[in-house]
Structure 1
Amino acid sequence: MKKIVNHILIIALLYSAASCEKNLSKLNVNETNSTTLDPALLLNQAIVNTSFPVKSLVFDLGIVQQMVSPNGGVLAGANFNQDSRDVTTAPLWTAYYQSVIKNTYDALAKSKDLATRTNMYNMGRIYQSYVFMILTDEFGEVPYLQGGAGLAEHIMFPKYDRQQDIYPKLIQELTEAAAALTTTSTIETGDMLYAGDVARWKKFAYSLLLRAGMRLSKIDPAKAQSTVQAAVAGGVITANTDNAFIRHDANFNQPIGNTLNGSEAANFYLTKPFVDQLKNNNDPRLQAIAIRYVGATGSTTQTVAVGTTDPTKQMGMPMGKDNGTIVAQARADGLASFYDYSQADRRRIVKVSSPVFLITAAQTNLLLAEARFRGWITSGSAAQYFSDGIKAHMDQMASYDANSAIAATARDTYITANPLTAGTELEQINTQYWIASFLNGPEAFANFRRSGFPALTPNPYGQPNNPDVPNGTFIRRLTYPTSELSVNTENVNEAIGRQGPDKLSTRVWWDKP
């Protein structure tokens, strides 16, 4: 009897084990989660993660001499002509590939074969092209064809593509995707950039195409001209109502605004070249952008009570000073301390809820002014595009804060006093582009390299003994993160072999001397 009971127990245990094994496959399945994501959610995730990171503040805005910090450590970068690849440049690479390109890649994969989602597919192509343009402009050769394919295609070590191969593909993608957008397909109302508005997405694509064409102005003028003509024929952004920008709020903070309203509030200052450009030309944008905490001797004394937005009282921080030499410089400038220099007003233009502008009517009109001056297009006049670009940017200031709005009379007075003048057209146009791209670090950096304007003096800090940024030169690109050098070694070294040394001073393909 005892043996029979034991056999029964063994059989029961076997059935129990079999039952457990059968249910093991369900243990790691979350049955409350969707097994697939709508591509619209993926595209939106890509858009929100594109907001320019702090890297743009430390490098891009410093290279083009608009904002700078005299402090080192994690803030060292453009003002020290210092390569900080692991602290400040690597986050751009990581954020854009892991949080932006991965999402656009997945959105494209999920929408490509859906007949009812053709607009989503082409919106994804356009946005991905925008982000890849930033990546290749900042670094040069980057993974393009295999970028974003890690999880989907198990490509863990993507090959790098030459920039001269990437640009034609970007131009092709933008051209084809813009043409394919249609009002007869599903309107993707959940899109957070334009709520699926086909006409505005087309303008976004053609404005990007215009930007891509102008990048080629030195390296391939014929291709630049034909690309610009195609963009203009398609229709570009010329009014602020069509501006492409990312919205922020108290829950989703603007990265630079979050930084400048947090621990680094007293560490970044408007530069002397930027402030002087606005101040010396009675530019009303200075009052809309700047604040100076008069007499401040430390972060705790930068209070509202001593703050002034009076343009006549603004003073920019000179380039190339560290937290030792800036003390004597501030004293020589008649200031209480370096905390007394002008800053971008964190209560107006760089709030945590400030928008991040990607492409604007101001930028596009100014590129049209240059294209018209070069004779690449025949519509309109360079002078009119020039003034329209200035007007658009001044009107755009109200989007940051009501207290940054510029009165129409002040705007028109400035425009009348600063017409496009024969013999200085390229300098005037691209200096205005520099101003209109304030806070859009990647674009300001790219256009400064392309055009050579404004005519800035190279940052002198440490250059005589700096192997990365030789004396009298500018930073020309960002360097690859250490993670790529150590993990994707073969492919990144192949790119370096083609492009040149992995240094800040190495030029990207289109940045022809």
Structure 2
Amino acid sequence: MRKIVTIILFFAIGLAGCEKGLSDLNVNTTSPTSLDPVLLLNQAVINTSFPVKSLVFDIGVVQQMVTPNGGVLAGANFNQDSRDVTTQPLWTAYYQSVIKNTHDAVVRSKSNTARSNMYNMARIFQAYVYMILTDEYGDIPYTQGGAGYSDQIILPAYDAQQDIYPKIIQELTDASAALSTSATIETGDVLYGGDVAKWKKFANSLLLRAGMRLSKVDPTKAQATVQAAVTAGVITSNADNAYIRHDANFTQPIGSTLNGSEAANFYLTKPFVDQLKNTGDPRLQAIAIRYVGAASGAGQTVAVGSTDPTKQIGMPIGYDNGSIVAKAQADGLASFYDYSQADRRRILKISSPVFLVTAAQTNLLLAEASFRGWITGGTAGQYFSNGIKAHMDQMAAYDPNCAVAATDRDNYVAANPLPAGDELEQINIQYWIASFLNGPEAFANFRRSGFPALTPNPYGQPNNPDVPNGTFIRRLTYPTSELSVNTKNVNAAIARQGADKLSTRIWWDKP
């Protein structure tokens, strides 16, 4: 009996020994239990590069580039609401890949006093992306927009744009002021390497932009916001530009599209080419190429490509791939493939940068603010010239062969001073040019200012249910996913804002 007891006791002791540490086997020692918020911010930044949707809608609405082809490319060229194909990607990309990350970066760093700069940088960038979203759609999920993970809010309520803008302005003001060189410098940041001075200028330039958005709907608030931004310090040098870098592995979205399957489908428009050509603007040579005599996409070869400004011919607005054939012949071209394009081997190569906020744009907004009498310390004419110079100098960042010679730049500026009696139009025409390839900003400022004075795209009018005769697309429509899943909240926004149509004006967009 003693032998049996001894064996049982030995077995029990052995079993206990085996169980000791057994729970540790269920712990994954290689899986992170926390995520550095700078990684979340960086992921947000790199996912902000404007998706192809911007080419199909924003850039088309402001008549800088257009395609005569429909299908998945239908949008601004046909005044067509193609929400499932082209409008949803911006909403989805920004909420899922940008706002989700900035929100989580804010939540993770908010209570960490050692990461106060991280917290405020994330707030600033989130405010920037929310400004794009509300400018594109109007009322959007803002207060609850990124709270799916942190607060388990999967069907967020929509905020009215009238309520969103004051909150964005406050976020930018507070976060900029809170940034400090005495706090931890977030050197891992991909936008500015944690440079506090540059982040402050970025925030204040966004504040200036937000203030100018209100120029029609609330001039008093607009002026106060602009003055605060200028006092705090904005971007006036290209050295402080906010832009996203790309390479062969992380490619520029629009550049990738136009160097791939859609290479022969998008063309510079007649209004854009004529503006540059008629004023002797050296940026035309930096931007455009025409494959002279091309009868097909295969005919667009390097051998026939010309960047000579005198040979550039823009594609007219309002034609499809049937009617454009006769128009091209009437213009003396071999086919519509013979119209000018943005050069995909220079300005739209796959490694070209995406500019978010620039010295050119900021100087031109300062020119308008100065003309309105909202700021002092510089003349509207000087800011105007500085803005043009900054954009011409910026061209070299796309490719060395896009560079504008200093002599050509200075000669153009000298020949094109800010004209008395036509200030607002000329300032905003230059803003239109300086925002080339930044579709959301070009679209927003066109609606705000009313310039350039483009002729509405006539395609499908006067019986187009989406865009009435003689009008422009004024916003993007909500994606079908929101209408079918977040029905109650999106319908409340529609009831407040107006019909979910391309022609419905958002809050700050006043006639």
State the TM-score, normalizing by the size of structure 1: 0.95
1:383 counterpart (381, 384, 388): 381
Distance 1:26 1:267 in 2: 57
Taking the TM superposition and a 5 Å limit, the aligned residue runs for 1:73-84 are 73-84=71-82
3-state SS, counterpart of residue 465 of structure 2: coil
* Corresponding residue of 1:201: 199
RMSD of aligned C-alpha atoms? 1.9
Q: Which one-letter code corresponds to 1:346 in the other structure? A: R
- Code of the aligned partner of 1:323: N
1:263 aligns to 2:255 (yes or no): no
Matches for 1:415-494 after TM superposition, within 5 Å = 415-494=413-492
Q: What secondary structure is seen at the aligned counterpart in 2 of 1:292?
A: strand
Unmatched 5+ stretches in structure 1: none
For residues 178-257 of structure 1, the aligned pairs below 5 Å read 178-257=176-255
Aligned equivalents of 1:292 and 1:475: distance in 2? 29
| Distance (Å, rounded) in 2 between the aligned partners of 1:460 and 1:423 | 30
Matches of 2:294 and 2:127, distance apart in 1: 45
Partner residue in 2 for 1:128: 126
Does 1:40 find its partner at 2:38?
yes
- Matched to 1:363, the amino acid is Q
CA deviations on 1:334-387 (whole Å, 9 max, x unpaired) are 000000000000000001100000000000000000000000001100000000
> 1:413 and 2:397 equivalent?
no
- Provide Cα deviations, 1:185-214, integer angstroms capped at 9, x if missing partner: 000001011000000000000000000000
- In structure 1, distance between residues paired with 2:240 and 2:509: 29
Which whole-Å CA distance do the structure 2 matches of 1:163 and 1:119 have between them?
28
Indicate the SS of the match to 1:149.
coil
Separation in 2, partners of 1:36, 1:48: 21
Task: Tell me the amino acid that sits aligned with residue 292 of structure 2.
Answer: V
Aligned partner of residue 463 in structure 1, secondary structure: coil
1:143 aligns with 2:137: no
Matched, 1:166 2:164: yes
* Amino acid of the structure 2 residue aligned with 1:379: G
Task: State the match for 1:399 in structure 2.
Answer: 397
Matches within 5 A, 1:13-32: 30-32=28-30
Amino acid aligned to 1:218: K
CA distance in 2, matches of 1:115, 1:43: 17
What residue number does 1:331 align with? 329
The residue type paired with residue 65 of structure 1 is Q
In 1, the alpha carbon distance for the partners of 2:81 and 2:377 equals 44
Q: What is the CA deviation profile of residues 449-496 of structure 1, one whole-angstrom value per residue up to 9, with x for unaligned ones?
A: 000000000000002111110000000000000000000000000000
Query: In the TM superposition, what is the alpha-carbon distance from 1:30 to its structure 2 partner?
Result: 4.2
Separation in 2, partners of 1:105, 1:155: 13
Q: Deviations over 1:265-319 (max 9, x none)?
A: 0000000000000001100000000000001011111000000000000000000
Letter in 1 for 2:77: N
Provide the secondary structure at the position in 2 that maps to 1:477: coil
- Offset, 1:26: 6.5
Distance, in Å, in 1 between the alignment partners of 2:87 and 2:461 is 20
Deviates more, 1:430-439 or 1:412-421: 412-421
Please list every run of at least 4 consecutive aligned residues from structure 1 whose deviation after the TM superposition is greater than 2 angstroms: none
Aligned AA (2:205): S
Letter in 1 for 2:315: M
Which of 483, 500, 506 does residue 498 from structure 2 map onto? 500
Partner of 1:93: 91
The equivalent residue for 1:289 is 287
Cα distance in structure 1, aligned partners of 2:304 and 2:408: 25
Number of aligned pairs?
502
Which residue type is aligned with residue 325 of structure 1?
Answer: S
**Distance (Å, rounded) in 2 between the aligned partners of 1:491 and 1:54:** 27
CA distance in 2, matches of 1:176, 1:198: 14
- Give the match for residue 344 of structure 1: 342
Amino acid at match of 2:406: A
Q: Quote the Cα distance in structure 1 between the aligned partners of 2:182 and 2:45.
A: 25
Task: Give the whole-Å Cα distance in 1 for the aligned partners of 2:217 and 2:462.
Answer: 30
Q: Which residue of 1 aligns with 2:152?
A: 154
Q: 2 CA distance for matches of 1:88 and 1:31?
A: 43
C-alpha separation in 1, matches of 2:267 and 2:66: 5
**Do the aligned partners of residues 96 and 30 (structure 1) sit closer, same or farther apart at CA in structure 2, a change above 3 Å counting?**
farther
Structure 1: distance between partners of 2:76 and 2:55: 9
**What amino acid is the match of 2:181?**
T
CA drift of 1:31 comes to 3.0
> C-alpha distance in 2, partners of 1:167/1:472?
29
Look up the SS of the partner of 1:148 in the other structure: coil
Shift of 1:423: 0.6
Question: Against the structure 1 CA distance between its residues 215 and 26, is the aligned structure 2 distance closer, same or farther, given a 3 Å change threshold?
Answer: farther
Q: CA deviation at 1:32?
A: 1.2
Letter of the structure 1 residue corresponding to residue 194 of structure 2: G
Q: Supply the AA of the counterpart residue of 2:81.
A: D
How far apart are the structure 2 equivalents of 1:204 and 1:378? Answer: 21
Question: How far, CA to CA, are the matches of 1:114 and 1:152 in structure 2?
Answer: 16
Aligned-partner residue type, residue 144 of structure 1:
Y
Partner-residue secondary structure (3-state), 2:334: coil
Identity of aligned residues (%): 79
Structure 2 stretches lacking a partner, 5+ long: none
